[in-house]
Chain A
Amino acid sequence: MTAADSVAISDHVIPTGQSFSARLNGPWHERGLQVFMGIVLAHWAEHLAQAYQVYVLHWPMAQARGVLGLWFPWLVTSEAMHYGYALIMLVGLWILRRGFVGSSYTWWMVAFWIQFWHHIEHALLQGQVIVGRNLFDSPVPMSLAQLVIPRLELHLIYNTIVFVPMVIAMYRHLIPTESERARMGCTCAGQPRLAAA
């Protein structure tokens, strides 16, 4: 894309007086999604590093703390990273939703609502710690999904089932139908007609 294209697009999608949310879902949507996807992939990279440490390098589970966890162990040994990431995901999915139109919006909101449920599970965990009693008389706080998937991999599965509709939404958003493209206010799929306008 040339500088001239950028100017043409910016002129089209940044009317004066736009709110932050409108800009984030308009001219800044492409960059916003890139940053958001960078955070998501960084989180996956941590899981990949941890899996490599456990299953390829055969490190003990307690020492396999990914990459950041080697320097900041409290990130892994507390709820901080899990919960912080869940919160960032929820906020990111919500504030970037308006840039999506049509089927991509539907898929994005599917990811949002699954992540919302994931957040409720976190709330349940926190609640059990605060109240001092765990569900099902378990010695550790339990989430509801653990009844179905009582495994270490539950966290990964949760992130996967949020990630899949997110990627479908991104695909539909980056490769929209003509009618969807006409309704998009961002530059994510390219705007040749705007450049020509």
Chain B
Amino acid sequence: MPDNLAWPPPNVGRALLIFGVAVAALAVHAVHIGGADAHSHEMMMSHRGAPSPIVRDQRVGPYLASVWTDPEVGHGPMYVVLEAADGRAFTPPSAVRVGVAPVSGRLPEALHDAHAEPVRRGGRFMTDVMFDRAERWNLRVVIDGSAGGGQLTSQVNAVPNVSTGPFVLVLSLLPFLAVGVVWWRAAVARRRTVAL
């Protein structure tokens, strides 16, 4: 046995196997509890860039509202997170709508209905919004329901994402280049070795 096999010790392999099986089981469980679509969407978004809060705990009627998004140019999710204000019981609103319009006024406001997502506390509503240019946008969230409602307004800067294009393309090409170089160098070295 080569001396490099002295570490890691054999029980590490067993521990890793148990860990892997446990995580795989959790993965299967996670996809099947409470609606696979919602959860898979949530997890997919974690691979697409994290949203950040634009508005935090702003009072809107009986709710404390937070708004989260990843404000890159293009289509992207917008989340409205609601909690009951003043320690009262949470009553879900009947409708949450999100409106976006460029501050410049070059486009009319686009109003989107947000749909409820499964959460264990308070409420979370999601909709896709479109920022077609990197500029400052007005944001309006309208909440209606039997417990009351209201609206909040804010602004958000849509940021360009064009710079990531060449980066992603080059990054995705590099592995093929690297493997090609290694394969070629190894072939040359092997030919020399065999020739000895």
Contact = CB atoms under 8 A, between A and B. Distances in A.
A, B in one complex: yes
Interface of A: 37, 40-41, 44-45, 47-48, 51-52, 54-56, 60-62, 74, 76-80, 82-83, 87, 90-91, 94, 98, 100-102, 105, 116, 119, 122-123, 125-127, 129-130, 132-133, 137-143, 146, 150-157, 160, 163, 167, 170-171, 174-175, 183, 185, 189-190, 192
17 contacts: A51-B165, A51-B172, A61-B48, A82-B43, A101-B4, A127-B26, A129-B42, A129-B43, A137-B66, A146-B50, A150-B70, A153-B171, A155-B47, A167-B182, A174-B182, A174-B189, A189-B189
Nearest to A43: B175
Nearest to A171: B182
Nearest to B57: A137
A150 B176 CA distance: 26
A152 B48 contact: yes
B5 interface: yes
B43 A79 contact: yes
Given A142-B50, A152-B48, A105 B194 contact: no
Give chain B's interface secondary structure class.
Answer: helix
Given A78-B44, A151-B49, A152-B164, A61 B75 contact: yes
Interface string B1-19: 0101100000001001001
A79 B27 contact: yes
A105 B26 contact: no
Contacts of A192: 193-194, 196
Interface stretch (B33-41, B89-97, B98-106): B33-41
A101 B165 CA distance: 39
A79 B32 CA distance: 12
Interface in B179-196: 179, 182, 185-186, 189-190, 193-194, 196
The 9 closest A-B pairs by CB, nearest first: A55-B165, A174-B186, A139-B79, A78-B40, A48-B172, A132-B120, A150-B50, A79-B43, A129-B30
Contact of B51 (A61, A62, A98, A139): A139
A183 B169 CA distance: 39
B52 A126 contact: no
Interface of B: 2, 4-5, 13, 16, 19-20, 23-24, 26-27, 29-31, 33, 36, 39-52, 66, 68, 70, 74-75, 79, 81, 117, 119-121, 124, 126, 164-169, 171-176, 178-179, 182, 185-186, 189-190, 193-194, 196
A183 B13 contact: no
Contact of B68 (A83, A116, A139, A143): A139
A133 B124 CA distance: 12
Nearest to B72: A152
B126 A41 contact: no
Contact of B120 (A60, A78, A133, A154): A133
B26 A123 contact: yes
Contacts of B4: 100-102, 105
A129 B193 CA distance: 54
B46 A143 contact: yes
Contacts of A55: 164-166, 168-169
